[in-house]
A and B are shown apart, each in its own frame.
Chain A
């Protein structure tokens, strides 16, 4: 194909020998006749598909619902609860003051038998861990190796201390590490909380260096959250690792630890909360969540309901089409339905 340049005297413009046929070679490809399968929406296929989807989806929905039903979940919102009555009016002052007693002891009742491991989560609401200013404020290079300790590109304003030495780990995310703690007891007997392996193995091995130790951390003018033990390498600071996997949504849960034992129904659990973390300045909520898991994860009725709804809708449509087809049958590909056959003049 030579769409242009025919008029140049270029050497490629030399005329071909007259007799040489320019007939294009035949191939199924060039003639656009490749063997092809042509799926066709016949009434039978449509009805079958809808019916099939309905039949598959309804059981899936039921299964998901039952799995979700088996999950036992205790949610306790303690942000307001854990502030003494007299300080309710100025929560921020309460949380910022180093003098106030932040310990808060409450009792929770186990509604059903909870088989171990029981996951302990903290749930924050209205905390935009996905805020642009926030998500970018970290240095993956610094976290990974000691050699890159000074790489604090996106970390401002938590990149360096006022005298210019680097903060490790730098950035707003690390700075705002969640620092409420929970301890549990049943009948005055302390329940062990396993805080090992709460972070991703991949993060511990590859993202957070075992030779990187916290440095100049949480020394600035405003304390954002937890302090870190400077003698433990980042790869073992699992709370930090969990925290630094920033959440997708402003309401999020993060794994705090696990209770490996079973909790029996109606047991009274005494929770001692150290209410340190400031969510009051932005009207954030804090929940403590104890939950078992099933194959669908935590408690979630949404998918089950959705599958059920769609499944039944499909069945309904399938039936609808069958009725329609029986009432107004129509031959497939009847040429008399062609618009120009219905409108003989061919004028519209």
Chain B
């Protein structure tokens, strides 16, 4: 179906042959190529195809779609799968094909350990820790005991393994349930249907599926309860689309008598090897010596549910792991957040610090050894020589080797400089953040009953740094609930505002026996038009109007469904179809008295103004995006044959008979312009009466083409173009796509937050601009730059003009700013409107740079008539040229490419299927949820994660520096006063929990404040919470604090009898309390969980230290008690002492900064004090 809008209507069954996906933007897109392509091919401009690596093949005619011989070699026997219908033994004699048992579980009990470990060690960090643990096992380097060195890594691995094992166990369980479901399968011995478990179903077996049952494997339809072989399936488990799709059994097989022992035994299906393309299938069947070709509409896939069809019989062609759904079951794409990328950069810096520390230690060690070269033999504490035996040295390999060993040992000692626990903490925090986002009632959409979904777990914090939002229009800004608004019939305009429309819902109900059938929805009607339709007087206008509505009722692929209501007498007619536009048109026709009641493959029944009429559907040319129209050939009761065509204005005016009715055409064109400037979606309807000759000519051509094996699609297209000519214009319709609730407000909020919103739509320019105005994206003060060119040169020229203009305007506004400084904004806002035609010449050429320059100075960019790949191209343009974060939001399959291209992809779970959702990182119900998502959750996520990363760096660095200072007093021999168990537990038990809790729960600002002041969002865009400066400050802070912690006990105890373990315990407690208090001082809001975790952790540390010191095996036995006894005062006092000392510089500085230099970081604090 061809509307001027390329993007929403998707009238046809998914008949796109896709072999080579044009969408190989990145490896991630591989999971969804077909979806994207499907929409790709429904767009309007052929010229867009320039981007496609292989020309998209688009043609369509019911059930006949196939590859063009030119673009795709015919199914070669070598790589084809031969399926003998009803004979699994012959099909698969050696049991080489996959059985129908599925296995989504990754591991078996035997393979769990190796495979899981293998997968876990894909992380570089884990390998680092593994290497260190291995180094530590060398006797010369054994710094920690065996247990202590392996523990942290083992702990991390264990936690992840337990999590994986649990998930896998659940998968095992669901696999078992799935495999043991029962299907009805023909027993080859007697030809009767017998129950058989799913896992035992084999390729080649004939199965019977009943209504509402799930299909166990991919099967080619042979027969259905419908005599014409139609079956309806719901693919909600496959792609989430809830509307019904039509599938057909082949004519050759439907006619066979059922109950015969081997009704289809003679058949041989030759099909392509299993692949993951849900929307493509290529096969042919030899039956009774005839060879018929099979396409995607002849196959029902595993996971589909049979609906509205009593039963269907088919032969299994792909089973189990080879079914399309299983081949497609890949996880969500994984992206890495910007914060994490930055964090990795800082991790590298930390490694540099680590290496510096290690070098310092090893060099000093070398110098020390050199200086004391002569003393070492006799020094009691070194004892270089082994006197007991011979004169050989004991454990001493010369200064060079000692230095080398010292270096490696110091890496082991200082290893936690790289915070291993951070990786786990981040995952846990993200999980918590995802939980809160999902549970947020503000992100729940009542109308579609959809809650927020987090599909990607590792980019939560990116939501707080978005600079560009690329939005689809239909279904994203608008509801994609099409409503018929007005029509222009025979040049006369009805319903566009002159007369108030009436809500006459329910007047046109259909009587069927003693029951009343009513369309589920009614449309407001124009009384004048209603009167005209019902008038008995035969006027030209009246006849045309009736033809117009009959065309709307006939010329579509809508399936009417009769829905029961609570009232026995009343039933509702629901129209199921893939295009919301078609639904709207059929509902409109019904409201005007042309009610579509029934559709089979051969005829339709329409209640025309109370009279039930049957029309034979003689032929149907489905919508394709080259023709941008569809047509249907109807045989009426009076034996006349009519062709109804509807399609986009451009394509329709080309085939309308221009010589007659010129006035009408002019008038219709005027109406169309008026409609699109109202933001309506328009299309034109035409008809032609076919003479017997015309019809016969068409029919022979059509049948010829249909039976052709090679190049069928192309020929069918030629047939349809041949017949769709010399049309008489009936009129045009205007369909409104309502703006979603809260869109203008959301866009305004985002504008204040410094987020630039770009709208990318397939609509035409006028529609796009009018929508732009209605959602306040465009305002009348804005200067519009329109680029709408048809050649490379003109494109270049308009771009250069635009650059010149923008710089001129910038200069003007700069001048006026100088004059009017402080009196408010005087900048002239710019809006760029560019269409897909021009983008063809711009994207991926040197003009991109110019476009980028123009686009960045513009406040608003509107791209109309863009193809899906162009959407991705525009996103890539901004993503690759700036550091700014991009977000793409869309609802349809045509948005998949840009959703995957953008840093953050958001899918709207709306009317248009779920491809966008499946490809997205997050999904939600409404566009306006972007505001709470970005401004509130995004801000929080970013702020929390940024703080957590910095805090983790700080926390581990403090500890490492304390170890380092001590090493300076041990002749650089890497002794640690802090017991090895404490160093191991430090980042696991002593300090881990509070940072996770704070990283999940703390709020710097309340939801109310963040919504009220969208400007606060800019902090994230400018990386204000995490940047190199902060990192360096944090490191300085940790050095300072470690000095305080180390030297206060050192100076206090240096003349006492204190032993190493006692002082080590003191340092342990001091550092743990300090870092926890440091965290506590950074907490914005204290709730009971925060309290419990921070104080609980300190208590847990004390308990752990006591436990460690109660083990007589360890040198520090009872040390903690002795130091508490003897230096109890020291202990408590020096503690407070450190704290105040250590925390004051940073906090005091903060305070000073806040008082005197309100940079934006402190805006938060400021507001916080306003509104707490």
Interface residues of A (CB under 8 A from B): 1, 3-15, 18, 20-26, 30-32, 34-43, 46, 53, 57, 60, 92, 121, 127-135, 138, 140-141, 144, 156-158, 160-162, 172, 175-176, 200, 202-203, 206-207, 220-222, 224-225, 245-255, 278, 281-283, 295-300, 302-303, 306-307, 310, 314, 317, 324, 330, 332-335, 337-340, 342, 344-346, 348
Contact = CB atoms under 8 A, between A and B. Distances in A.
Contact of B970 (A40, A46, A60, A128): A128
Interface string B152-184: 000000000000000000010011011000000
Given A131-B971, A133-B383, A281-B379, 14 more contacts: A1-B438, A9-B214, A9-B302, A14-B237, A26-B441, A132-B974, A200-B1122, A206-B1112, A220-B387, A220-B388, A253-B1057, A295-B1129, A344-B822, A346-B752
Contacts of B1137: 303, 306-307, 310
B773 interface: no
B1166 A333 contact: yes
Contacts of B1122: 200, 202
Contact of B1170 (A206, A207, A221, A333): A333
Contacts of B971: 128, 131, 250
A330 B455 contact: no
B1055 A298 contact: yes
Query: Number of contact residues on B: which range applies?
Result: 35 or more
Contacts of A332: 1169-1170
Interface of B: 102, 104, 171, 174-175, 177-178, 214, 236-240, 242, 302-303, 325-326, 328-332, 372, 375, 377-383, 385-389, 394-395, 434-436, 438-441, 444, 446, 449-451, 453-457, 752, 754, 817, 822-825, 827, 918, 940, 969-971, 973-975, 977, 1001, 1003, 1007, 1013, 1015, 1018, 1022, 1048, 1050-1064, 1084-1090, 1112-1115, 1117-1118, 1121-1122, 1126-1127, 1129-1130, 1133-1134, 1137, 1140-1141, 1148, 1151, 1154-1155, 1158-1160, 1163, 1165-1172
A172 B383 contact: yes
Contacts of B325: 7-9
A134 B817 CA distance: 74
Contacts of A9: 102, 178, 214, 237-238, 302-303, 325-326, 329
Contacts of B302: 9
B613 to A, nearest CB: 34
A248 B1130 contact: no
B1168 A337 contact: no
Contact of B1163 (A138, A249, A338, A344): A338
Given A7-B328, A225-B380, A346 B1015 contact: yes
Contact of B383 (A144, A157, A339, A345): A157
Nearest to A178: B380
Contacts of B1155: 43, 324, 330
Contacts of A53: 1140
B1158 A339 contact: yes
Given A12-B174, A22-B449, A248-B1060, A40 B383 contact: no
10 closest A-B pairs (Cβ-Cβ)? A333-B1170, A221-B387, A176-B380, A9-B303, A281-B378, A202-B1118, A36-B1085, A30-B439, A132-B973, A4-B331
Contacts of A222: 378, 383, 385, 387
A302 B1013 CA distance: 51
B1140 A345 contact: no
A245 B1062 CA distance: 10
Given A22-B450, A221-B387, A297-B1126, A281 B375 contact: yes
Contacts of B1064: 248
B332 A4 contact: yes
A61 B1129 CA distance: 13
Identify which of B237, B379, B1062, B1167 gathers the most chain A CB atoms within 10 Å of its CB: B379
12 contacts: A5-B329, A8-B326, A13-B237, A32-B436, A38-B1084, A129-B1060, A156-B386, A156-B394, A221-B388, A245-B1059, A249-B1063, A339-B1015
Contact of A10 (B174, B236, B1003): B174
Identify which of A141, A175, A246, A332 gathers the most chain B CB atoms within 10 Å of its CB: A246
Contacts of A34: 1001, 1087-1089
Contact of B451 (A22, A42, A255, A330): A22
Identify which of B1064, B1127, B1163 gathers the most chain A CB atoms within 10 Å of its CB: B1163
Contacts of A21: 449
A193 B175 CA distance: 81
Contacts of A317: 1148
B975 A7 contact: no
A30 B436 contact: yes
Nearest to A25: B439
Contact of A340 (B372, B453, B824, B1015): B1015
A8 B240 contact: no
Contact of A130 (B214, B385, B969, B1050): B969
A220 to B, nearest CB: 5
Contacts of A140: 1112-1115
Contacts of B827: 345
A282 B372 contact: yes
Given A24-B444, A222-B387, A249-B969, A3 B457 contact: yes
Contacts of B1058: 247-248, 252
B825 A344 contact: yes
Nearest to A225: B380
Nearest to B392: A157
B451 A23 contact: yes
Contacts of A144: 1112
Contact of A23 (B446, B1062, B1148): B446
A8 B331 CA distance: 10
B378 A11 contact: no
Given A3-B332, A278-B380, A246 B918 contact: no
A135 B1118 contact: no
Contacts of A200: 1118, 1122
A265 B1133 CA distance: 33
Contact of B434 (A1, A203, A247, A278): A1
A282 B375 contact: yes
Contact of B1087 (A8, A35, A160, A248): A35
Contact of A92 (B378, B825, B1170): B378
Contacts of B1134: 303
Contact of B1115 (A43, A135, A330): A135
Given A42-B1169, A53-B1140, A32 B1060 contact: no
B786 to A, nearest CB: 25
A207 B1148 CA distance: 48
A166 to B, nearest CB: 12
B1140 A15 contact: no
A131 B1163 CA distance: 52
Contact of A345 (B449, B825, B1063): B825
Contacts of B174: 10-12
A234 to B, nearest CB: 14
Contact of A339 (B375, B822, B1159): B1159
Nearest to A175: B380
Contacts of A340: 1015, 1018, 1163
A2 to B, nearest CB: 8
A128 B365 CA distance: 13
A112 to B, nearest CB: 18
A340 B1159 CA distance: 10
Contacts of B1052: 300, 302-303
Identify which of A1, A295, A314 gathers the most chain B CB atoms within 10 Å of its CB: A1
B407 to A, nearest CB: 14
Contacts of A25: 439
B1115 A172 contact: no
B440 A31 contact: yes
Contacts of B1085: 36-38
A173 B738 CA distance: 86
A338 B1166 CA distance: 8
